[in-house]
Amino acid sequence: MKTSYFTPVNLPQNAPEILSVSQLNRQVKRLLENHFEFVWVEGEISNFVRPGSGHWYFTLKDDSGQVRCAMFRNRNQRVRLRPQNGQQIRLRAKVSLYEGRGEFQLIVEHMEAAGAGALQLAFEELKQRLQDEGLFAQELKQDLPSMPRHIGIITSPSGAAVRDIITVFKRRFPGIELSVLPVAVQGDEAAPAIVAALASANRLHLQLDPPLDALVLTRGGGSIEDLWCFNDERVVRAIAASELPVVSAVGHEIDFTIADFVADARAATPSAAAELLSPDRTELMNAFRSLEKTLQRSVLRRLRDAGADLLGLRRRTRHPGDRLQEQAQGLDELEQRLLKSVQLGVTRRQQQLQLLLAHLQRLSPGNALTAHQLRLQHLRHRHTAAMGNRVAHLQQRLARFGGMLHSLSPLATLERGYAMVTDTDGKLVTDSKQVAKGDMLRTKLAKGHFVSQVRGRDW
């Protein structure tokens, strides 16, 4: 084995300072952090990791480079965006160095979806312009109906928002009819579709039975890009032009769109919009019961007061003879009239209450469903009878045409005693000049045929 020995060499007095790796990394980190303050960087997320500590670690890259990033828990808790690999983002960060690996990195302070900043600026600009125009003025807003019968819902028919609204209406007041006007609520085609739905609802609502009383423009939550169609100026002006009251219920409680400012009312969620437009069935029933009890107490109080007055009159009526009897009879008549009047009032109040209850029952979906079932059964019977009559008529026509066809058939002629004669080639013989002596002929009768030979002819 070869062994080598190195002889120590004394360093010169002006030799450079020798740094440890940790010292070098620390100085580079300080240099980077002192030179750069905060920078805005845009790119695509990759290698995203969220450990149990709650911190976020990922790589931000573009077509030709990448940089490691860290966003600590106390900062990422404020971010509404939920990052994922492949997502384009814009972030504000400090330039730093991770000393443990000597790795250049960004310490992220703020994160948003790429393009969100530009969209926010466009949002604020359009909002301010429309506000200066007076489009959001309170005096332009319409009152919502207190007891609507028919509500139009402009939204995606497959989204969670429409299911939430229908559930709340069924729970609170199922007698209200709902009509869904299906539109796209995201993407380039969403804004024109919403404008068309608003125009159609305003144009046709009086032709419906019952007519539309209000509209709900709604969808679930999402990013500013997802909700952008509700910031479209065309949509905003269509809402302002609507003759029907419009309730905007876009996104979650923290989401705001320009549609919210121009609408006649804003609901924090789709469910809140349904609660805003639907009376509570339980509260109405409680109010009816309270009115009934108040009416009963009022009637009883009037009866007691009338009885007390009657008793007082009787005590003060102390006249002798016929006058006393006449006045007593008059008091009895007044008593009967009073009782009849009270009873009539009670009956009238009870009839009004019954009418209100019957009206409430008529609004029940069960009655409408039964009526539609009866009408369907009636239509089915009519359809069956019509089909039977049609088949019989066609059979009669077929028999008539068959008879006409048979009367024109050569067979019908044969049945009257005529015969059809053909030569050996099957050619019809209609003139005796067509045959010669010795020719063979075939004669067809109404039933069967026979072959004959010409023995002569009558010239």
Structural domain total, the chain:
4
Q: What pLDDT is recorded for position 4?
A: 37
Same domain for 250 and 346?
Answer: no
Same domain for 238 and 295?
Answer: no
Predicted confidence (pLDDT) per residue in 239-255, tens digit: 999 999 999 999 887 77
User: Domain residues for 441?
Assistant: 415-453
Same domain for 83 and 144?
Answer: no
Same domain for 56 and 79?
Answer: yes
In this model, does residue 8 exceed pLDDT 50?
Answer: no
Q: Would you tell me how many other CB atoms lie within 10 Å of the CB of residue 264?
A: 19
CA gap 224, 112 in Å, rounded: 10
Q: What pLDDT is recorded for position 1?
A: 36
Q: What pLDDT is recorded for position 118?
A: 65
* Structure token pair of residue 251: 């996104």
Same domain for 341 and 209?
Answer: no
**Among candidates 217, 223, 83, which has minimal Cα distance to 159?**
217
Task: Give the pLDDT mean for 96-110.
Answer: 86
Instruction: Establish if 393 belongs to a structural domain.
Output: no
Tracing tokens 């209406």 back to the chain, one arrives at 169
Instruction: Establish if 27 belongs to a structural domain.
Output: yes
Instruction: Establish if 323 belongs to a structural domain.
Output: yes
- Residue 193's identity, in one-letter code, is A
Strands of the 214-219 sheet, one edge to the other: 177-182, 150-155, 214-219, 246-250, 265-266
Instruction: Establish if 381 belongs to a structural domain.
Output: no
Same domain for 64 and 86?
Answer: yes
**Among candidates 71, 48, 66, 73, which has minimal Cα distance to 103?**
66
Which residues does residue 442 pair with via DSSP β-bridges, in sequence order? 422, 451
Same domain for 204 and 313?
Answer: no
Strands of the 440-444 sheet, one edge to the other: 420-422, 440-444, 449-453
Same domain for 215 and 296?
Answer: no
% of the chain exceeding 90 in pLDDT: 31
Q: Between the ranges 112-126, 213-227, 233-247, where is the mean pLDDT highest?
A: 233-247
**Mean pLDDT across the chain, nearest whole number?**
84
**Among candidates 313, 312, 343, which has minimal Cα distance to 330?**
313
Q: What pLDDT is recorded for position 115?
A: 65
Instruction: Give the domain CATH number at 273.
Output: 3.40.50.261
Q: What pLDDT is recorded for position 235?
A: 95
**Among candidates 229, 233, 254, 215, which has minimal Cα distance to 78?**
254
In this model, does residue 116 exceed pLDDT 70?
Answer: no
In this model, does residue 10 exceed pLDDT 60?
Answer: no
Q: What pLDDT is recorded for position 230?
A: 94
| Residue at which a domain ends, from 362, 383, 400 | 362
Q: What band does 6 get if pLDDT is binned at 50, 70 and 90?
A: very low
Q: Quote the pTM value.
A: 0.45
The answer to whether 199 and 243 are in contact (CB under 8 A) is no
Instruction: Establish if 350 belongs to a structural domain.
Output: yes
Instruction: Give the domain CATH number at 81.
Output: 2.40.50.140
Instruction: Establish if 407 belongs to a structural domain.
Output: no
**Among candidates 358, 349, 355, which has minimal Cα distance to 293?**
349
- Residue 357's identity, in one-letter code, is L
Residue 379: CA atoms inside 13 Å, Cβ hemisphere, count?
6
Predicted confidence (pLDDT) per residue in 323-368, tens digit: 677 777 778 788 888 888 888 888 888 888 888 887 777 777 777 7
Same domain for 275 and 295?
Answer: no
Same domain for 146 and 268?
Answer: yes
Same domain for 157 and 272?
Answer: yes
Tracing tokens 């580079």 back to the chain, one arrives at 28
CA gap 34, 38 in Å, rounded: 10
In this model, does residue 318 exceed pLDDT 60?
Answer: no
In this model, does residue 29 exceed pLDDT 70?
Answer: yes
Alpha carbon of 407 to those of 397, 402, 412, 414: distances in Å? 15, 9, 6, 11
Instruction: Establish if 122 belongs to a structural domain.
Output: no
Instruction: Establish if 75 belongs to a structural domain.
Output: yes
Q: What is the DSSP letter of 161?
A: H
CA gap 112, 119 in Å, rounded: 11
Same domain for 224 and 266?
Answer: yes
| Residue at which a domain ends, from 336, 362, 388 | 362
Q: What pLDDT is recorded for position 12?
A: 52
In this model, does residue 190 exceed pLDDT 90?
Answer: yes
